[in-house]
Structure formats: C-alpha cells, structure tokens
Amino acid sequence: MFISNAYAQAAGGPLGGEFSQLFIFVPMILIMYFLMIRPQMKRQKEQRTMMEALAKNDEVVTAGGILGKVTKVSDAYVTLEIANGTEVIVQKMSITMMLPKGTIKAI
C-alpha cells in the first residue's frame, strides 16, 4: 500500500556499459602519456646525452649543489676540482647540470 513496486532496469544496448567506459579511458591514457610519461622520457634522454658529453675542464653542478671543474672522467665516476688542490670523486649520475665555460672563477 505505501511501498511501491521495484522494477529492474533494462540491459544496456550495444553502445552501453563497456564502450562508454572505453571512450573515457582512452583519452585519460593519452592525457597521462603527454603530461607525465613523455616529458619524463625526454628529460632522461637529455640527462643521458649530457653524461656522454662530459669531458675534462667542463664546469658542472652536482645534485648536492657542489660546483666544480671536471678533471677526470671514467665510466661511472667523475673527479671534480672544487677548490685549488681539492678534488672530489662523485658518481656520474649525480651531475645535474653543465655550466657555461668561465662560470666558476674561484678555482
């Protein structure tokens, strides 16, 4: 008397459930690719080319903020001169940026 009857909904047609979800997820994946994945891959490529281009007398900045001049380069390590007569060995991967020549005047 006070309770109405409950009827089941009709099943979705061929453009129902699965396809509508597909139309939502494909643009989301594309947006994630162009906003997150692609820029990260580009940054990794730039970092890799910088590591390969390191040579003696390049001026660099490490991840810890140390500025120095490259005195020796090996496969995995780089020797930096951070002051007159003071050399530090760092991992090649810790170098974040190459500076223009003549930036470091104190060495």
In the chain, domain spans: 14-53, 55-107
Q: Are 63 and 78 in contact (CB under 8 A)?
A: no
Q: What is the pLDDT of residues 53-70, one digit of tens each?
A: 999 999 999 999 999 999
Does the pLDDT at position 14 exceed 80? no
What is the DSSP code string of 8-54?
PPPPP-TTSHHHHHHHHHHHHHHHHIIIIIHHHHHHHHHHHHHHHH-
C-alpha neighbours within 13 Å on the C-beta side of residue 106: 6
> Do the beta carbons of residue 41 and residue 82 sit within 8 Å?
no
What pTM was computed for the model?
0.65
Does position 25 have pLDDT exceeding 70, yes or no? Answer: yes
- As a CATH number, domain 55-107 is 2.30.30
